[in-house]
Amino acid sequence: MKFSRIPGINEEVRAEAAKRQKLLTKPTGSMGRMEELSIDIAGMTGIVAPELKKRAVFLMAADHGIAQEGVSPYPAEVTPQMVMNFLNHGAAINVLTKQAHSEVVIVDIGVNYDFPDLPGLVRRKVAKGTANMLHAPAMTPAQAEEAIQIGMDVLNEAADKGLQMAATGEMGIGNTTSAAAITAVLCGRKPVEVTGRGTGLDDAGLMRKVAVIEKILAEREPDAADPMDVLCKIGGLEIAGMAGVTIAAASRRIPLVMDGLISTAAAALADALVPGVRNYLIAGHRSPEIGHKVLLDKLGKYPLLQLDLRVGEGTGAALSFHIIDAANNILRDMATFESAGVSNR
């Protein structure tokens, strides 16, 4: 599969933003990470302090065959039920995107349910979930490529209509198992070091989940040097879709805000598939899933929020939109020492 080259960061505009930060009526560096964030966004977009008013969370939904192994306290039927909840505007992501003046794009990329034609639902189903990766590769190379392309397509369609900032979210019972397995492989860690409780496993359930991932990796032997091999063997259709969204956003110079473990696993795969993607990534938050910090460290990203969020859906990313707006607004609207008539030593 061929991908477009990721453009380099606009270093001239980045330097211009950094210069303006030093002129604002505050001690240099006193806004901390907010200053770094605004400078990074300037480099991504090529604009000093863009408003980024047109934003969307791309929420990919898909089922996982591995859910048959009891790796989640919730049954697989919850995936289509939650998709209906999204469409009825009843979920956390609906509340937070409304507050952040953001659209949420809901994509059925692999739910094991036949949805009718419903307003607000993008029906791009590749398959009715992945295979049980304990016994077979999760998906075929053709399925993985199709899912990536779908993610790229939905992002590009929105970009053609003026999208300025994107985020990824997901829904799929069993997907933290896939994401933890991907994290273990890409980061060279043992499953026990990167596997968390997901939607609320007890101690016995967590031990079972770790054991299942250990067996999966022993059986599938994904090649850490081949991200497509990793995706096909132990990935998810929604993870592939989010990777596609992430790649397309970077290729269009659109900042991509990652959510939790699963969104970040998709971003790590995207960066492995197409070098340079990480330059357009923003870590919305850090979840309690122990593998999330490992992935963020690998990507060199500092989370904007740490509120122990583990809802998924893109909620942490949507909540961080307010921080991103604040960082850009400070850079754009704050007075300089000269304009305010304030002495700068």
Average pLDDT of the chain is 97
196-240 pLDDT, tens digit per residue, is 998 889 999 999 999 999 999 999 999 999 999 999 999 999 999
The per-residue pLDDT for 266 is 98
Cβ–Cβ contacts within 10 Å for residue 66, how many? 29
| Rounded Cα gap, residues 242 and 265, in angstroms | 9
* β-strand pairing of 165-171 with 256-258: parallel
Give the residue numbers marked as catalytic.
313
Q: How large is the average pLDDT for residues 114-141?
A: 98
Identify whether the C-beta of residue 107 lies closer than 8 Å to the C-beta of residue 59: yes
- The length of the chain in residues reads 345
287-322 pLDDT, tens digit per residue, is 999 999 999 999 999 999 999 999 999 999 999 999
pTM beyond 0.75, yes or no: yes
| Rounded Cα gap, residues 336 and 56, in angstroms | 32
Identify whether the C-beta of residue 304 lies closer than 8 Å to the C-beta of residue 37: yes
The proportion of the chain whose per-residue pLDDT surpasses 70, expressed as a percent, equals 100
17-72 pLDDT, tens digit per residue, is 999 999 999 999 999 999 999 999 999 999 999 999 999 999 999 999 999 999 99
Q: Residue 61 carries which side chain, given as an amino acid letter?
A: A
Q: How large is the average pLDDT for residues 252-261?
A: 98
pLDDT higher than threshold 90 for residue 183: yes
pLDDT higher than threshold 90 for residue 340: no
The per-residue pLDDT for 344 is 85
Q: How large is the average pLDDT for residues 111-123?
A: 97
The per-residue pLDDT for 313 is 97
pLDDT higher than threshold 90 for residue 16: yes
The per-residue pLDDT for 50 is 97
The per-residue pLDDT for 15 is 98
The per-residue pLDDT for 126 is 98
The per-residue pLDDT for 125 is 98
The per-residue pLDDT for 199 is 83
Domains of the chain: residue spans and CATH: 11-49+330-340 (1.10.1610.10), 55-323 (3.40.50.10210)
| Rounded Cα gap, residues 186 and 230, in angstroms | 8
Name which of 191, 190, 193, 200 is nearest 72 in CA terms: 200
The per-residue pLDDT for 215 is 98
Q: Is 208 helix (H, G, I), strand (E, B) or coil?
A: helix
Q: Which two tokens stand for residue 297?
A: 């460290």
Look at the alpha carbons of 202, 309, 286, 266 in this order and tell me if their dihedral is positive or negative: positive
The per-residue pLDDT for 138 is 98
| Rounded Cα gap, residues 190 and 294, in angstroms | 12
The per-residue pLDDT for 224 is 97
Q: Which two tokens stand for residue 334?
A: 């704050």
Q: Which pLDDT band holds residue 135 (cuts at 50, 70, 90)?
A: very high
